[in-house]
């Protein structure tokens, strides 16, 4: 904590340089695309020439921007600052959009390095149940996963589609990877008690994870979905985070891999 507070003192003036100025931030974001002259910048960011030139002078002094042949461009440092600025904006946007599944939920199951990359979920949305359709979030996820070829699942709560996707995989060549708690695994596999041998297929991989894990994750080729527990320990079955963005799917794959490294093979 002391280290973080000391770091803040070191960089607070740099943060204020951008946070306190819309025009400086918008110039950097605009120039990420390509070099631009003053008339184009004036049109894009909707500030007067004098306001832009004053901000540009400040950015040039910081060596974030340089002018060449009438066009303004980002320096190498400017490119890095602009990328971090966009990531910060996406992080705040993600937290604002997803607060219903983050606030008052056990986010500790998400490793620190992935929480730092929360901006990857910026294009996600929250599916919430409604009084006239309590099953709508579950049904949406179930339909999507049962129409996917390759599926990865982390399950701390039993959902019927876990059995359905297992049956589908027994009839197809799609790859299924399931990480289940012992309790969930016992329920799922009990439905295959009489035909347990058919699960022993090269395209089906089952693992056991710690019963204390409080996370549900569904991941396919073109979407990801995640459910979390409330901070009182009860699973929130009314909400799913769902996204089909490439960034979100990559993020979810990292989360799956994190727990796969901690899992052991389920003994049939």
Which tens digit of pLDDT belongs to each residue from 209-238? 887 889 999 999 899 999 999 999 999 988
The mean per-residue pLDDT over the stretch 237-256 comes to: 93
Which tens digit of pLDDT belongs to each residue from 134-190? 677 778 888 888 888 889 999 998 887 777 777 777 667 788 898 989 888 888 777
What is the end-to-end Cα distance of the chain in Å, rounded? Answer: 47
- pLDDT at 267 exceeding the cut of 70: no
Predicted pLDDT of residue 63: 94
Q: What proportion of the chain, given as a percentage, has pLDDT over 90?
A: 48
Phi-psi bin for 104: left (phi > 0), alpha (psi -120 to 50), beta? left
The mean per-residue pLDDT over the stretch 72-91 comes to: 92
Q: Where are the alpha helices (DSSP H) in the chain?
A: 2-19, 22-31, 38-45, 49-61, 76-97, 99-102, 112-115, 136-146, 160-170, 182-190, 246-260
73: CB partners within 8 A, 6+ apart: 31, 35, 65, 66, 67
pTM across the whole model: 0.82
The tokens describing 157, both together, are 């709560």
The tokens describing 146, both together, are 């049962």
- pLDDT at 205 exceeding the cut of 90: no
Predicted pLDDT of residue 18: 76
Question: What DSSP state is assigned to residue 122?
Answer: T
The tokens describing 150, both together, are 């390759």
The mean per-residue pLDDT over the stretch 41-68 comes to: 94
Separation CA 119–CA 121 (nearest Å): 5
131: CB partners within 8 A, 6+ apart: none
Whole-number CA gyration radius for the chain: 24
């Amino acid at each position: 904590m002391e280290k973080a507070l000391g770091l803040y003192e070191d960089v607070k003036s740099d943060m204020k340089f951008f946070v306190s100025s819309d025009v400086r931030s918008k110039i950097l974001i605009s120039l990420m695309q390509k070099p631009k002259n003053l008339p184009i910048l004036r049109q894009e960011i909707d500030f007067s020439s004098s306001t832009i030139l004053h901000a540009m002078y400040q950015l040039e002094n910081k060596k974030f921007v340089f002018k060449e042949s009438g066009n303004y461009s980002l320096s190498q440092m400017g490119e890095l600052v602009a990328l971090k600025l966009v990531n910060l904006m996406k992080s705040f946007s993600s937290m604002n959009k997803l607060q219903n599944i983050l606030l008052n939920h056990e986010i500790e199951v998400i490793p620190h390095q992935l929480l730092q990359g929360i901006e990857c979920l910026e294009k996600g949305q929250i599916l919430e149940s409604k009084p006239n359709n309590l099953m709508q979030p579950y049904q949406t996820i179930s339909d999507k996963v049962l129409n996917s070829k390759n599926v990865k699942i982390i399950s701390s709560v039993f959902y019927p589609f876990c059995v359905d996707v297992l049956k589908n995989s027994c009839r197809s060549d799609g790859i299924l990877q399931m990480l289940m708690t012992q309790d969930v695994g016992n329920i799922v596999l009990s439905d295959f008690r009489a035909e347990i041998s058919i699960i022993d297929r090269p395209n089906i991989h089952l693992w056991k994870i710690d019963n204390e894990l409080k996370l549900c994750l569904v991941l396919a080729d073109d979407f990801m979905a995640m459910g979390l527990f409330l901070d009182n320990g009860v699973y929130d079955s009314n909400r799913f985070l769902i996204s089909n963005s490439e960034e979100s799917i990559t993020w979810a794959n990292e989360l799956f891999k994190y727990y796969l490294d901690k899992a052991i093979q389920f003994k049939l």
